[in-house]
Amino acid sequence: MEEVVQEAWMSFLQSLDRFEGRASVKTWLFRILVNRAISRSKRENRTTPMSALGTGDDGPAVDPARFANSMWSSPPAAWRTNPEAVLANAQLRRIVEEAVEDLPPRQKVVITLRDLQGWSSKEVRNVLDISQTNQRVLLHRARSRVRAVLEEHHRDDG
């Protein structure tokens, strides 16, 4: 019986791509992501359930210490690899995956749906029931953090 359910589950997962525009399926997928975020924050002994989804979303895109009079005092160093090499780099992908895992829950959910799952901004807004501004800010914060982690990596490397 377990195996049957498991097989059904697997094939369902594999066919998710073809479930276009079906709100119920997307809502369900969202719940999975939320549960995942919650179980992780529990494991890490942070605060629990829904309150965990409302924290950690503040903070600047770049450490303010890197600006003087709002201009770069410590500008971003050029990433020495070209875009093709960056995209082909498996290590960078692992770093990106870890960076996403470490994001605050709401940012993690938004960036996972938008970028990893390829949802539109409208779909994400509908499913999460958040405003356009909220969605925009969460995606901005999430991507900015991932960039910062990648920059750190390039700095250590070079």
DSSP state of 121: H
Contacts of the segment 7-12: beta carbons below 8 A, 24+ positions apart: none
Task: Report the alpha-carbon distance of residue 97 to residue 153 in Å, rounded.
Answer: 13
Residue 45 touches another protein, criterion: CB under 8 A: no
Residue 64 touches another protein, criterion: CB under 8 A: yes
**Residue 15 φ/ψ, nearest 5 degrees:** -95, 5
Q: Which stretch binds another protein (CB under 8 A): 47-55, 67-75, 102-110, 122-130?
A: 67-75
Residue 67 touches another protein, criterion: CB under 8 A: yes
Secondary structure of residue 64 in the 3-state scheme: helix
Residue 61 touches another protein, criterion: CB under 8 A: yes
Q: What is the Cα 70 distance to its own chain's centre? A: 28
Which two three-digit tokens encode residue 20? 């276009």
Residue 4 touches another protein, criterion: CB under 8 A: no
Which of residues 7 and 55 has its CB atom nearest to another protein in the complex?
Answer: 7
Q: How many CA atoms, within 13 angstroms, populate the side-chain half-sphere of residue 95?
A: 17
Which of residues 126 and 144 has its CB atom nearest to another protein in the complex?
Answer: 144
Contact 127, 27 (CB under 8 A): yes
In the complex, least distance from residue 44 CB atom to another protein, rounded to whole angstroms = 13
In the complex, least distance from residue 103 CB atom to another protein, rounded to whole angstroms = 11
Q: Which residues bind another protein (CB under 8 A)?
A: 2, 5-6, 8-9, 12, 28, 31-32, 35-36, 39, 60-62, 64, 67, 69-72, 75-79, 83, 86-87, 92-93, 96-97, 100, 111-112, 115-118, 121, 136, 139-140, 143-144, 146-147, 150-151
